[in-house]
Amino acid sequence: PKIHFALNSASIVEDIMDTGCDVISIGWYNNINHVWSQIGFSKAIQGNLDPALLAEGGRKMIDSTVEILESAGGRQGYIFNLGHGVLPETRPENVRKLVDIVHSFHYH
């Protein structure tokens, strides 16, 4: 699939989808459901955990991850990812924990 990522693109997501991409990758500052309402629920979205939360780890990272997954609601076409790249100070154990959370998550 062709995935399009652009920073600060909230105001142009519909235009981005018109480029022919299959997936739009959104930043941590975007609301998944708002973006889906703009582009249509049949389109795919990737994102959008704040990379600073991954670097920090702990309860806030866990809660935010679960909130994002619940917001996606198990829709076809959702790819969990960061809202941008991994920060250099991110500890590998935080990444492992995040992967475990995402893999063990079950939609209700």
pLDDT, residue 17, reads 86
**What is the tally of structural domains in the chain?**
1
Look at residues 56, 69, 58 and name the one whose alpha carbon lies nearest to residue 102: 69
pLDDT, residue 6, reads 78
Give 11's pLDDT tier (boundaries 50, 70, 90): confident
pLDDT, residue 95, reads 98
Omega prior to 8 cis, within 30 of 0: no
Which ranges of 1-108 would DSSP assign to H, the alpha helix? 13-17, 32-39, 51-56, 58-72, 92-104
Query: 67-106: per-residue pLDDT in tens?
Result: 999 999 888 889 999 999 999 999 999 999 999 999 999 9
- Cα–Cα distance between 39 and 47 in angstroms, integer? 15
- Cα–Cα distance between 105 and 98 in angstroms, integer? 11
Look at residues 33, 27, 23, 34 and name the one whose alpha carbon lies nearest to residue 8: 27
pTM of the model as a whole: 0.89
Q: Which domain holds residue 66?
A: 3-104
With 0-12 / 13-18 / 19 or more C-beta atoms within 10 angstroms meaning exposed / middle / buried, residue 39 is middle
> pLDDT exceeding 70 applies to what percent of the chain?
100
Q: Which residues contact 12 (CB under 8 A, 6 or more apart)?
A: 6
Which position has the higher pLDDT, 38 or 88? 88
Query: 53-66: per-residue pLDDT in tens?
Result: 999 999 999 999 99
pLDDT, residue 41, reads 85
